[in-house]
Amino acid sequence: MIVQRVVLNSRPGKNGNPVAENFRMEEVYLTDNINEGQVQVRTLYLSVDPYMRCRMNEDTGTDYITPWQLSQVVDGGGIGIIEESKHTNLTKGDFVTSFYWPWQTKVILDGNNLEKVDPQLVNGHLSYFLGAIGMPGLTSLIGIQEKGHITAGSNKTMVVSGAAGACGSVAGQIGHLLGCSRVVGICGTHEKCVLLTSELGFDAAINYKKENVAEQLRESCPAGVDVYFDNVGGNISDTVISQMNENSHIILCGQISQYNKDVPYPPPLSPAIEAVQKERNITRERFLVLNYKDKFEPGILQLSQWFKEGKLKIKETVINGLENMGAAFQSMMTGGNIGKQIVCISEEISL
């Protein structure tokens, strides 16, 4: 049968901004034969995420992420439904997910590399497994648990940058749920600020494009900052760190402002900010969620429970069509999304 797929058309260059034209869609023949242990799946939803920017380079700069190859199919977080199975533990109609799902309408995969998901955990919103009840949610939860040092009733103030994104929008809510008394978000539009405070429970929100971040932080965090969930790096992070308290903690989730630059990860702080960090004994350790696989299952159950109890509000921006993967990626990298950026490939979940 003929299927559509998306391949890497060109690289933006280590210091370039990714554009939709870095990707191209093509048709390819998919065999009807599947081997023992394999399954044929129809793709339902695909994820685009900031970490993918380094996969566009010839060298990702990390040992745990491989680069995408030119003219080869692109992959990332995905979810789909099994249409045919020759795997003992997977049957037709099962919903499955993978971190390395090809950007393709239908695909034959090794069943051992797939994880079965239960639609009841997300009240049927399967795309949530790619967001708040998937890797971004786990990153936020485990990051705060492992590196935030928050205890119930400890009266701590938490600041979240990239606060309206996939991780940030969840992290702020988790900060409150785990015991922070005050949570402040930093984002890039008025619309996002309103959403954070009116729907997601943030106590204040700062629009870094329109407001003086240092001034607004002083106003929003009169007792200083105890925990900083950092999604962006760069100037915003320098401003936050300069207002952090002694023995406070930075959760290094991402550094999206630096991803189009050829710098190491995590990018080094400027000498002045590094001096502040050392003087005030602020922890800033690299955090990689893949090192905490033993915490994935309980984490997913906790996130699901909060969602079902109405304590965790989930936001996503959905674009339809495999042909729009490149546009979705470009939009996500420039802050066009609120919550998780998802691409819907096929909504038809009946067989």
Q: Could you tell me the pLDDT band of residue 62, with boundaries at 50, 70 and 90?
A: confident
Could you read off the pLDDT of 262-315 as tens digits, one per residue?
666 677 899 999 999 999 999 998 788 889 999 999 999 999 999 999 999 999
In degrees, rounded to 5, the angle at the alpha carbon of residue 304 between the alpha carbons of residues 162 and 137 is 25
Give me the pLDDT at residue 258, please: 62
Q: Which CATH class is domain 2-130+315-344?
A: alpha beta
Q: Which residue has the higher pLDDT, 209 or 64?
A: 209
Residues 6+ apart with CB under 8 A from 197: 203, 204, 205
Query: Is the confidence at residue 351, as pLDDT, over 70?
Result: no
Give me the pLDDT at residue 44, please: 98
Question: In the predicted model, what is the mean pLDDT of residues 155-165?
Answer: 96
Query: Is the confidence at residue 210, as pLDDT, over 70?
Result: yes
Strand, helix or coil for residue 236: helix
Distance between CA atoms of residues 266 and 285, nearest Å: 9
Distance between CA atoms of residues 191 and 336, nearest Å: 11
Give me the pLDDT at residue 253, please: 82
Please tell me the least confidently modeled range out of 131-145, 148-162, 272-286, 336-350. 336-350
Query: Is the confidence at residue 257, as pLDDT, over 60?
Result: no
Question: In the predicted model, what is the mean pLDDT of residues 177-204?
Answer: 97
CATH number of 135-290: 3.40.50.720
Query: Is the confidence at residue 195, as pLDDT, over 60?
Result: yes
Amino acid at 246: E
- Sort 309 into a burial class: Cβ within 10 Å, 0-12 / 13-18 / 19+: exposed
Query: Is the confidence at residue 18, as pLDDT, over 60?
Result: yes
For the chain, the structural domain boundaries read: 2-130+315-344, 135-290
Share of the chain above pLDDT 90, in %: 85
For the record, the structure tokens of 2 come out as 């003929």
Give me the pLDDT at residue 259, please: 58
Asked whether the whole model's pTM tops 0.85, one would answer yes
DSSP 8-state class, residue 118: -
Q: Mean pLDDT for the chain?
A: 94
Best mean pLDDT range from 10-14, 15-19, 43-47:
43-47
Please tell me the least confidently modeled range out of 29-33, 79-83, 251-255, 311-315. 251-255
